[in-house]
Amino acid sequence: MQHFIISGLLVVALSGLAAARLPDGRLHANFPPRPIAHLTGTPPSDGVVHARTGATIPPYDTTYYFEQLIDHNNPGLGTFQQRYWHTWEFYEPGGPIILMTPGESNADGFDFYLTNATIPGQIAQQQNGATIVLEHRFYGYSNPFSDLSVASLRYHTIQQAIDDLEYFADNVELPMPGGDAVGPDQAPWIMVGGSYAGALTSWTMVDKPGLFWAGYSSSGVAESIVDFWAYFEPIRQFMPQNCSVDVQAVIAHVDLVFTTGTPSEINALKAQFGMSNVPHLEDVAGALRNNLWDWQKLQPYTGPGAAFFRFCDALEVKNGVNAPATGWGLDHALSAWGSYFRNTYYSLVCGDSDPATCFGTHDTSQSYWTDDTVGNDDRSWRWIVCNEVGFFQDSAPVNRPTLVSRLVQPIGDEVRNYAHQLFTSIGDNRFFLSDQRQCVQMFPGAFNSPSVPKADQTNAAYGGWNATVDRLFSVNGQRDPWRDATVSAEDATTVSTVNQPVALGDGFHCSDLLTASAYYDATIARVQSQALASMKTWLEDWQPGGAERQSAKWSPT
């Protein structure tokens, strides 16, 4: 059966409000979103048959378990059960094994990526391959331990995740005919990933040469960046110009009032956004990013009701008339944004939580700092953020226009001191929304004081956006807020070649992973076609034996 879905397909990035949970289960609203693109809606789980023979095979949502090593540096520590999903709907002997991991997310529902409604399934259909979705360690229910305490999370590293992929490929016996004889030396393996998992695809191919014969990285955030102010640059560049101008004007006003205003002026401004009881001004300023984070939810087919454009309409449509490119100006924009945030948007973000609980980042008695239960994927992601990748989404440098308050900094002058130069009346870093401080609050056993994530070490180990990797196809969207952490970043030195193509479409975050995106965006159709052609060419060159596994690792020299 050739299973293909177009109608009802919707992909959104994790709701722009990630890293911790409020008492009512909602995500804390003053944390940056994770880069993942999360799929909603799954294919039918019954009636799956082999494409050629018509033989009935297990449903897509059948869950399998693999005994994965807890610590690849100490195999004696034992194993844990790592979940995976698998189909051989299109498989013929000699075909490739296509492995996809959702990365930093519970993998329930990602069995959709086994089907030809996605790039992994398209490769499988074209090349007579089998598909796998493998849950990443410490996400969902693939956890070595019974909690997400600091002691447990010490085994949660990028390198351990890469080693998982190697151990899985070398040792899994896939539940299909001949599934015990399809290791990387017997069949070509292809890794596919989007966002963090797209970066993991590149990092794995750098660290384990020859393990995967080919790779497909969609919006892969390959370059770890501590001060990731550039997250907001594609938003500023591609959002409606009138909205951009007015947002910048409001933010400049917020910074001016919060740094030089009288107590009554400051309180009036807080009240305008419904945040009178939020005690720390940096939390108030940081909360305004929520409207911007909604951009990450956009896809070409979500329709005109997307939350980001509702926000811009609230600012730029007055009495049925659209603002000119220069916007309506500060007075109207401030009033309109405050009214929209206070009366419409707040309940969508915070539910029944009060503003101090929803937006405050200082009260460590709240459960979202201490919830270490298995399945709290936001805590697992925050561990990687604090230790290895950074990606703190803050204001632009002082010589650049900014959509985000200058009070939102990674850690004040330890990382960047321009805010102190701008606001000379501010005497210490506590005034700034410091992501490193929040790392200490969430993981007090691991960090005694704010420290900078080891992003430089991560880039040195795995090449970042400058790695040279044979047979890696990278696709990025110019409207993607994560674009400047990919190989399509302004500062990246990667050059597109026949053996390492880099394609830039007009899409958003991971748009190209979905077959249906091609129906809405001709640039995505083009890159998908190019990728499938590359896979076909590269697989023609594969030979059994895996000799290339012995080659040297990537190095910058």
What pLDDT does residue 10 have? 25
Phi/psi of residue 71, nearest 5 degrees? -135, 115
Binned at pLDDT 50, 70 and 90, residue 297 comes out as confident
CA distances in angstroms from 344 to 21, 287, 314, 337, 368, listed in the order given: 21, 15, 10, 10, 25
Pairwise CA distance, residues 356 & 363, whole Å: 9
How large is the average pLDDT for residues 476-499?
Answer: 94
How large is the average pLDDT for residues 498-515?
Answer: 93
Closest-CA residue to 466 (of 491, 493, 486) = 493
What pLDDT does residue 411 have? 60
Long-range contacts at 145-154 (CB < 8 A, ≥ 24 apart): 145/80, 145/374, 146/374, 147/372, 147/373, 147/374, 148/372, 148/373, 148/374, 148/376, 148/379, 148/380, 148/383, 149/372, 149/445, 150/443, 150/445, 150/446, 151/445, 152/372, 153/380, 153/383, 153/443, 153/446
Q: Give all domains of the chain, ordered by start, each with its CATH number.
A: 63-224+467-541 (3.40.50.1820), 230-442 (no CATH)
User: Comparing 429 with 391, which gets the higher pLDDT?
Assistant: 391
Between 241-260 and 307-316, two packed helices, what is the crossing angle to 10 degrees? 80
Pairwise CA distance, residues 129 & 121, whole Å: 8
What pLDDT does residue 416 have? 41
Phi/psi of residue 456, nearest 5 degrees? -65, -40
User: pLDDT digit string (tens) for 307-338?
Assistant: 899 999 999 999 999 999 999 999 999 999 99
What pLDDT does residue 36 have? 67
Q: Considering only 20-24, 91-95, 537-541, which range has the smallest mean pLDDT?
A: 20-24
- Paired with 433 in beta bridges are 408
Judged against a pLDDT cut of 90, whether residue 535 lies above it is answered with: yes
Please give the positions annotated as active site: 195, 480
- Residue 544 is classified by DSSP as T
Judged against a pLDDT cut of 80, whether residue 78 lies above it is answered with: yes
- Cβ count within 10 A of residue 490: 8
Phi/psi of residue 311, nearest 5 degrees? -60, -50
User: Comparing 187 with 519, which gets the higher pLDDT?
Assistant: 187
Question: Residues 433, 438, 440, 443: what is their CA dihedral angle, to the nearest 10 degrees?
Answer: -170
| Residue 537: both structure tokens together | 């060419």
What predicted TM-score, i.e. pTM, was given to this entire model? 0.90
Pairwise CA distance, residues 342 & 395, whole Å: 23
Give the strands of the sheet with 189-194, arranged side by side. 64-69, 79-87, 130-134, 97-100, 189-194, 214-218, 472-477, 502-505
How large is the average pLDDT for residues 294-313?
Answer: 77
How large is the average pLDDT for residues 95-117?
Answer: 95
Q: Considering only 150-154, 459-463, 491-495, which range has the smallest mean pLDDT?
A: 491-495
In 3-state terms, what secondary structure has residue 392? strand
How large is the average pLDDT for residues 186-207?
Answer: 97
What pLDDT does residue 445 have? 86
Pairwise CA distance, residues 284 & 430, whole Å: 14
Most confident range (mean pLDDT) of 300-304, 349-353, 359-363, 430-434 is: 349-353
What pLDDT does residue 11 have? 29
190, 215 in Cβ contact below 8 A? Answer: yes
Q: Please say whether the dihedral angle defined by the alpha carbons of residues 78, 99, 217 and 393, taken in this order, is positive or negative.
A: negative
Pairwise CA distance, residues 319 & 313, whole Å: 11
Pairwise CA distance, residues 247 & 241, whole Å: 10
Angle at 359 between CA 356 and CA 362, to 5 degrees: 75
Q: Please say whether the dihedral angle defined by the alpha carbons of residues 391, 167, 512 and 486, taken in this order, is positive or negative.
A: positive
What pLDDT does residue 306 have? 82
Binned at pLDDT 50, 70 and 90, residue 44 comes out as low
Binned at pLDDT 50, 70 and 90, residue 21 comes out as very low
